[in-house]
Amino acid sequence: MVLVEDSFTIRRQLLQRLDAVPGLRVVGEAADETTALALVDHLKPSAVLLDLSLAQGGSGIAVLKTLRRQGYGGQVHVLSHQTEAYRAAVLAAGANGFFDKAEELDEMLRQLTGQPEVPVPAPLDAAALREQLDQTVKLAMRDGGEVVVHVIAGRAEELPPLAAQLIAAVDSGDLVGWVHPGAADRLCVVQVDGEDTPSLRERLDVLAPDVRIGRARLPEDALSSGGLVALAELRALGKLPS
């Protein structure tokens, strides 16, 4: 999918939500009409998620009309805070759906995925987690940011539903994924630029009181993603003091 949204903050929030839905992948981003049309022509995505108001005075309706005129047959869903005022015009221009950004995102995802319920958010697999954590650590080292890595150890049957709940609760930019390939008994939660240990522990006390948690901080405990995860895991297992 190509995501067309001029607000950096909203785009980041949408990316986090879209990345959590199995089967959805954002392959391009644009903030203005010209970039949006070029990306769709080049990438030929199966869907476009389109803001109504774009950078440089651009119009989402203009992008939509051009895409349909050029023969684009994929799904186009428009998000806006001005749903009622523009709904009829957007649908008449060829949109598959028109949704309120704040209140109808799940409804849009149901229509986009063709499923009656939005798929449960999935944690990152171990390889993707390490890759993203590597990048997070490099950026934090460069910019002087903080990274806290938590490893949650528990029974394999209780961690997948816990992971879905945590994905919905973490801040934008944070990561939730599996520590080891093919294993579902160690979950990693990475928090960027924020110390959230008390509230995370309190959340776990409610959601999964039997799990064990260990943490490691950059730069105090380790300077590498592997070092952070290893220390947090040992602490979760009780092999090192917390």
- Sorted by where each starts, the structural domains of the chain and their CATH numbers stand as 2-113 (3.40.50.2300), 126-236 (3.30.70.270)
Distance CA 136, CA 191 (A): 10
How confident is residue 213, by pLDDT bands cut at 50, 70 and 90? very high
Residue 80 has pLDDT above 60, yes or no: yes
pLDDT of residue 198: 53
**Count of CB atoms within 10 A of residue 187's CB?**
27
* Section 172-197 average pLDDT: 83
Write out pLDDT tens, residues 24-54. Answer: 889 999 999 999 999 999 999 999 999 988 8
CA distances from 79 to 87, 154, 201 (A): 10, 39, 35
The residue assigned the tokens 């759906």 is 97
- Gap between the terminal Cα atoms of the chain: 42
| H-run or E-run covering 148 | strand 147-153
Mean pLDDT in residue range 156-168: 86
Cα–Cα distance measured from residue 156 to residue 34, given in angstroms and rounded to the nearest whole number: 48
Sheet holding 75-80, edge to edge: 28-30, 2-4, 47-51, 75-80, 97-100
Q: What is the pLDDT of residue 191?
A: 87
- The SS3 assignment for 3 reads strand
What is the signed CA dihedral for 163, 167, 170, 171, rounded to 10 degrees? 150
3-state secondary structure 180-209: CCCCCCEEEEEEECCCCHHHHHHHHHHHCC
Residues in contact with 41: Cβ distance below 8 Å, sequence separation at least 6, in sequence order: 70
Q: Mean pLDDT highest for which of 23-32, 51-60, 207-216, 227-236?
A: 227-236
pLDDT band at residue 231 using 50, 70 and 90 as cut-offs: very high
Token pair of 206, please?
A: 């409610």
